[in-house]
Structure formats: C-alpha cells, structure tokens
C-alpha cells in the first residue's frame, strides 16, 4: 500500500546535495517522518527531503533558501562537511499516460508524485551525485600519477617520497570503501522489497544515469591507480634495500681496511 503523501504539482524540481561525508540519521528519526527507508521528511513551506547517511540530501519541490536553511539545521548531525557541496538537479514531470521513468525534455516522467516514486528518484540521484564526487577525486589522482610515469620513463628515477605515495594508496582505498560500504552504489534500494512494482522505474533511472557503468569505470581507475602506486612503492623499497646493502658493504670494507692498517702498524 502506497503512502498517501504526494506532491500535488505536476512539475517541480529535484535537487541532490552532497554536503558532508556522513549524516547521523538517528537524531532525525521520529513520528513526523514521512518514510523511514530511506528517511524522508517534510520541509517547511512545502516539499520534502530524502536523507542518506553518506551525506546526501535530495530535495523535492523545495526552494533554494528553504533547502539552505534545512542543511543548516543538519550541521550538528553532519561529519566533515565539504567546503563546496556537489549538486545534481533534474525536473520531475507528472504525466499519467506517459512511459514512467523516461527522461523527456530534461525531465523525469512519473505516473504520479507519490512518496515511493520520489524515494526511488532520490536513491538514484544520491548515487549519481556521489559518483560525481568520486569521479572528480579519481581524475585529479590520475593527473598526479601521469607525471610520475613520465619521469620514470624519462630518467628511470621515481620522483616524490614514499609517504606521499602511501597516502595516495590510502586515499584510493578510502574511496573504494565508501562506494562499497556506505553507499552500496550497485545494490537496489530496500524500498523495492516492499514495492516491487517500482523496479521498472528504478531500472530505467539507473540506466539513464549510467550508475552501473560509472561505478565499473571508477573501479577500473581505482585499481589502476592503486596498482601503479604499489608498483612504485615496491621499486622504492627495492632501491632503499639496495642502498642499505651498499652501506653494509662499505662498512665491511672500512672495517677490513682498519684491521689491515692496525696489523701493518704493529708489525
């Protein structure tokens, strides 16, 4: 049975905002929630917001000032807010006779603006905006890795320090953990267990935003960056080991020379 809540307008805006690494949703759950999985609440002056623990809030039919005020209230419940939030917007249009889930003229078409349908849109939008952030981070790491490879080819030397390379590996592992652990980007929302009739809508939106393809591309890039940096670390380790071996040889030679010197001195 679907929720009685529905936005009454036939066309309105949906806006996903990734503004923090995490939101503590426990502090927001209450009897006035429109839905709990995902957590959905009504926003003052109309409209609603769908919240995800990985730091995304998706607004429906909410003005800019109201959305900003709502995010300000979430401040105490948010961990590590981003200085520049990532956003993604789309228009939602209600057409009872249209093919649901398609994008026409830049707008997602729905049979009606029921709570469950908007939650499906929110799930896909939240994953899309999260992927956009990770794509930007990984692209910047690619830009940093390229000069390392070029310098290695040109001079045979590895620029940079071991600590910096280890930090790159850590950053890529963190992105991978967040994609798989927090957001579960490739998994279907639990909402579909209770509303299997919405699987078609979810599938068409997931295809429209290329969620699976973008996730797979990110994983390939993450694996490439990690393997490249790990190879560089191994080469650095080998170089340091060789240097230590030469130090040991040098010390042995010095010890032999000192011994010979003493022998000849006391003859």
3 state SS of 59 = strand
Tell me, what's the pLDDT at 211? 92
Residue-wise pLDDT for 217-255, tens only, equals 888 877 776 666 666 666 665 555 545 555 566 566 655
Nearest Cα residue to 87 out of 66, 56, 119, 123: 56
Tell me, what's the pLDDT at 135? 85
Q: Where are the alpha helices (DSSP H) in 79-210?
A: 115-155, 162-177, 191-194, 199-208
At residue 53's C-alpha, the angle toward residues 48 and 80, to 5°, is: 110
Whether residue 212 is predicted with pLDDT greater than 60 in this model: the reply is yes
Mean pLDDT, the chain, whole residue set: 77
Rounded-to-integer distance, Cα 154 and Cα 79, Å: 43
Beta partners for residue 17, in sequence order: 57, 87
Whether residue 196 is predicted with pLDDT greater than 80 in this model: the reply is yes
Most confident range (mean pLDDT) of 43-52, 168-177, 181-190, 252-261 is 43-52
Would you call 48 exposed, middle or buried from its count of C-beta atoms within 10 A (0-12, 13-18, 19+)?
buried
Tell me, what's the pLDDT at 242? 46
Percent of all residues in the chain with a pLDDT value above 70, rounded to a whole number: 64
Nearest Cα residue to 18 out of 178, 207, 222, 190: 178
Element containing residue 11 per DSSP (H, E): strand 11-23
Most confident range (mean pLDDT) of 33-42, 163-172, 218-227 is 33-42
Whether residue 145 is predicted with pLDDT greater than 70 in this model: the reply is no
Percent of all residues in the chain with a pLDDT value above 90, rounded to a whole number: 32
Rounded-to-integer distance, Cα 2 and Cα 155, Å: 66
Residue-wise pLDDT for 51-81, tens only, equals 998 899 999 999 999 999 999 999 888 888 9
């Amino acid at each position: 049975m679907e929720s009685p809540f529905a936005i009454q307008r036939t066309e309105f805006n949906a806006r996903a905002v990734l503004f923090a690494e995490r939101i503590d949703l426990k502090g927001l759950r209450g009897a006035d929630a429109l839905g709990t999985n995902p957590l959905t609440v009504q926003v003052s002056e109309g409209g609603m917001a769908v919240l995800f623990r990985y730091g995304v809030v998706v607004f429906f039919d909410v003005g800019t000032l109201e959305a900003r005020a709502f995010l300000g209230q979430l401040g105490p419940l948010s961990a590590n807010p981003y200085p520049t939030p990532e956003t993604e917007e789309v228009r939602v249009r209600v057409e009872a006779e249209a093919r649901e889930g398609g994008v026409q003229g830049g707008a997602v078409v729905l049979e009606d603006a029921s709570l469950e349908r908007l939650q499906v849109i929110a799930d896909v939008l939240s994953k899309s905006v999260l992927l956009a952030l990770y794509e930007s981070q990984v692209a910047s790491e690619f830009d940093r890795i390229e000069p390392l490879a070029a310098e290695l080819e040109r001079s045979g030397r590895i620029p940079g320090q071991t600590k910096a390379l280890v930090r790159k590996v850590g950053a890529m592992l963190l992105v991978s953990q967040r994609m798989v652990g927090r957001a579960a980007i490739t998994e279907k929302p639990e909402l579909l267990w209770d509303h299997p009739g919405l699987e078609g809508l979810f599938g068409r939106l997931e295809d429209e935003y290329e969620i699976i393809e973008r996730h797979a591309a990110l994983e390939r890039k993450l694996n490439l960056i990690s393997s490249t940096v790990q190879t560089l670390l191994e080469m650095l380790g080998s170089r340091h080991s060789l240097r230590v071996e030469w130090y040991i040889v040098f010390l042995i030679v010095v010890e032999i020379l000192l011994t010979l010197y003493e022998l000849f001195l006391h003859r």
